[in-house]
Amino acid sequence: MAETKRPVVLITGASSGIGEAVAERFARDAGRRWRLLLAGRDETRLGEVARRTGGVALPGEDLDGLAGVERLAARALEVAGRVDVLVASAGIGWAGPFTRTPPETVERLVAVNLTGVLQLVRLLLPGMVERGVGRVVLVSSMAGCAGVANEAVYAATKGGLLAFAESLRYELAGTRVGVTSVMPGAVDTPFFARRGVPYHRTRPRPVPVGRLAELLWGAVVRGRDEVFAPRWLTVPARVRGAAPGFFRAMAKRFG
């Protein structure tokens, strides 16, 4: 009985980076004693994270296709019976001029960063609504909020998550199911090494991944809709909304 009462969180991309750090932060929340379901493609690393956090590893599912997403959702529900919180942190990047972006890269970025997330939410959200409790956490990016040169496709996928989140909030009003958008700048993870192009900007400086995980966990337990990391990024986000022409001029000048 005690096991069934513990809240269940499913974290994608949990074998490294943001997902790994988020799993570790939820594991330290002794007050709620979350049941962790950890999804990732690197089975060895995912197993190590599961051992450290006491979570259940759900390895191997590729989220760039509907079949993999459906298998992950089914396995999560089979193991825990429900998902109370979904943290969709799995994602990939690519940097370079849009005119040189390979077509298969466009397809994969959209599939992993956007379509796969929407399909996973589609499968898990009805249960949250039926139970009258839950939260969907979408790890977007400041690139999706403001756009970034030479990362047009990546920014488009992350911007799509923001529009999706805002739309869901309207639909879910009164259901006690919340949606959190996470908008970090650069984060100190292996992300940039994996995309093949290092992070080269002076601002914003990469955020420690543990700090982002702390902010994300806090948003879940406090029911917050938006997370900026670092927090001062709320300023350029608001400036862009209020004065887009001025914002674009500054972005072109200072990068």
Marked catalytic residue, from 26, 34, 154, 217: 154
Element (H, E) at 85: strand 85-88
Residue 199: active-site member:
no
- Residue 78 to residues 120, 136, 141, Cα–Cα distance (Å): 15, 19, 31
191: helix, strand or coil: helix
Altogether, the residues listed in the chain come to a count of 255
Rama region for 60: left / alpha / beta (φ>0; ψ in -120 to 50; rest): left
Report whether 252 contacts 164 (CB < 8 A). no
Q: Which amino acid is at 36?
A: L
Report whether 75 contacts 124 (CB < 8 A). no
User: Which positions are annotated as active-site residues?
Assistant: 154
